[in-house]
Amino acid sequence: MKYRDDIDSALRVSGRRADYCEIRFEETDNTRLTYRGKSLDTIAQTSGLGGNVRAVRNGGWGFASFNSLDDLDSKVAEAVAQAAAVGGAKTELGEVEPNVDVVPAHIVNDPAEISLDEKKRLMDHYNDLVWSVDGINSADIVYGDTSRKTFFGNTDGSYIEQQQVHVISRISAQARDGSDVQQAGFSLGSQGDYDVVRDLDDDVVDAAKRAVGLLTAKSIDGSERTVILDPVLAGVFVHEAFGHLSEGDNVYENEKLREIMYIGRKFGGKHLNFTDSAAIPGLRGSFKYDEEGTPATRTALVREGELVGRLHSRETAAKMGEKPTGNARAIGYNFPPIVRMTNTIIEAGEATLEDLLEGVDDGVYVRNWYGGMTQHEMFTFSSGEAYMIRNGEIQEAIRPVMLTGNLFETLKNLDGVGNDLGMNQGGGCGKGGQMPLPVSNGSPHIRIQKCLISGA
């Protein structure tokens, strides 16, 4: 256990003056390639190391980061002094049994075993494929992989070493006709599997062709229609529109959210079941312990349409009289952990896609996503693709649309959940200046009645 003696010694000597103290140290290795237009814009391999001390005393928190273990005692003292300066209440932390563990990375095909030259050749090939399609005006390609090994100890007696390896890629093609610019693309990712970026030729060419095709596609007028979301966009919907409202710090700190996100509130029918879990093996939001040493859990958020749980750190759990859920996460050593989602899903129902399409005479089928925003219960999302539904069949492509609405009304109108759960691992979550945090989200196809849509 590489840094255990250093961490234990500093906690024993300087951390005893705090009600609670923890030290996290990490080693990182990163590779990144970006393409803008026809050219390779950035190619880099970087390494880093650093850590932080977090201490609480009389309810006040102190935080100090560092890049060398040589002065660890002084950094612990600094964090404790900060905590003492701002403390003025009782320290409340949810109980977690101490753990001593070493958790290796989940590896399928380690990107560290692939040469930088080979990674570049593959991305060069994908860039050439985008530009092989007539009508393409620009392209954006990103490839990245990260290895992060953390070493964590606290005054409760935990010491945990944990490693994660992530691979991500985003490929986007743009087409232009005068001032009209259209784009299409996709994002993907994995935990520990370089193969996720291989054999994408057909997907790359399809994205480029879709971008060109959108120049002649029609836009839809704003209206309320029946909308069917694919697993990717439905997963983004549950993450953005519902997941952030389930984070304990957001609820605790906002009186309005406490009023609308109370345990027992009914959101919809028995087909609505939402879960967040880092304990699902192998996904980008998966881990064995969070940044506070709390074991990953499977947290039921909604069961049969009723709010039954939310996501917590040790502090938010204690303040709200609930149990820690293992959702305290930080993107790096220079940030304190805050409550974050992991793998957030709408659980599968019983309907097939054909069942959801049945009876939809004039609707819209939406796939993939470009972005969105939420403000409490209000949301707006942009689809990556959109197609008309007529007489129960998916027909011609139209230009991407925006979906807008009130979360609670929308959940009441969510009347169909498919049986074809799929996971989206190509995104990253942002909160509190920490982004993009590795997460995944997923869902089967879902159907929403009376959804307000408009041209993107």
Report pLDDT digits (tens) over 207-247: 999 999 999 999 998 899 999 999 999 999 999 899 999 99
Helix 72-86 vs helix 4-13: crossing angle, to nearest 10: 40
What proportion of the chain, given as a percentage, has pLDDT over 70? 100
What is the C-alpha separation between 326 and 26, in angstroms, rounded? 19
* Residue for token pair 């219960």: 377
Residue 432: exposure state from Cβ atoms within 10 A (0-12, 13-18, ≥19)? middle
The more confident residue out of 415 and 13 is 415
Q: Assign 84 a pLDDT band (cuts: 50, 70, 90).
A: very high
Phi, psi for residue 447 in degrees, rounded to 5: -120, 130
What is the C-alpha separation between 160 and 133, in angstroms, rounded? 50
User: Would you call 69 helix, strand, or coil by DSSP?
Assistant: helix
What is the C-alpha separation between 381 and 400, in angstroms, rounded? 10
> Which two three-digit tokens encode residue 342?
């992991």
Q: Are 79 and 73 in contact (CB under 8 A)?
A: no
pLDDT tens sequence across 21-55: 999 999 999 999 999 999 999 999 999 999 999 99
What is the C-alpha separation between 403 and 406, in angstroms, rounded? 10
Q: Are 386 and 364 in contact (CB under 8 A)?
A: yes
pLDDT tens sequence across 308-337: 999 999 999 999 999 999 999 999 999 999
What is the C-alpha separation between 300 and 325, in angstroms, rounded? 10
User: Would you call 6 helix, strand, or coil by DSSP?
Assistant: helix
Q: Is pLDDT of 372 > 80?
A: no
What is the C-alpha separation between 47 and 26, in angstroms, rounded? 11
What is the C-alpha separation between 324 and 155, in angstroms, rounded? 17
Q: Assign 343 a pLDDT band (cuts: 50, 70, 90).
A: very high
Q: What letter would DSSP give residue 332?
A: S
* C-alpha 169: how far from chain center: 15
What is the C-alpha separation between 142 and 167, in angstroms, rounded? 11
Q: Give the pLDDT mean for 156-165.
A: 98
Q: What is the pLDDT of residue 326?
A: 98
What is the C-alpha separation between 36 and 30, in angstroms, rounded? 20
What is the C-alpha separation between 3 and 310, in angstroms, rounded? 34
> Which two three-digit tokens encode residue 398?
């139209």
For the domain covering 4-213, report its CATH number.
3.30.2290.10
Q: Give the pLDDT mean for 423-442.
A: 93
Q: What is the pLDDT of residue 375?
A: 82
Q: What is the pLDDT of residue 13?
A: 81
Q: Which amino acid is present at 137?
A: N
pLDDT tens sequence across 127-146: 999 999 999 999 999 999 99
**DSSP-derived pairing of the beta strands 306-307 and 298-303:** antiparallel
**Nearest C-alpha neighbor of 126 from the set 136, 111, 112:** 136
What proportion of the chain, given as a percentage, has pLDDT over 90? 92
Helices vs strands, H then E, count in the chain: 10, 24
Q: What is the pLDDT of residue 427?
A: 84
DSSP 225-265: EEEEE-HHHHHHHIIIIIGGGGBHHHHHH-HHHHHHS-TT-
The stretches of 183-230 forming alpha helices (DSSP H) are 201-213
What is the C-alpha separation between 323 and 344, in angstroms, rounded? 19
Run of H or E including 314: helix 314-319
pLDDT tens sequence across 114-131: 999 999 999 999 999 999
Q: Where are the domains of the chain?
A: 4-213, 223-455
Task: Measure the CA dihedral 251/254/256/259, to 10°.
Answer: 40
Mean pLDDT of the chain: 95
Q: What is the pLDDT of residue 313?
A: 98
Q: Are 320 and 387 in contact (CB under 8 A)?
A: no
**Nearest C-alpha neighbor of 276 from the set 410, 435, 442:** 442
Q: Which of the residue ranges 67-76, 151-160, 307-316, 351-360 would you say has the lowest mean pLDDT?
A: 67-76
Q: Assign 456 a pLDDT band (cuts: 50, 70, 90).
A: low
The more confident residue out of 375 and 391 is 391
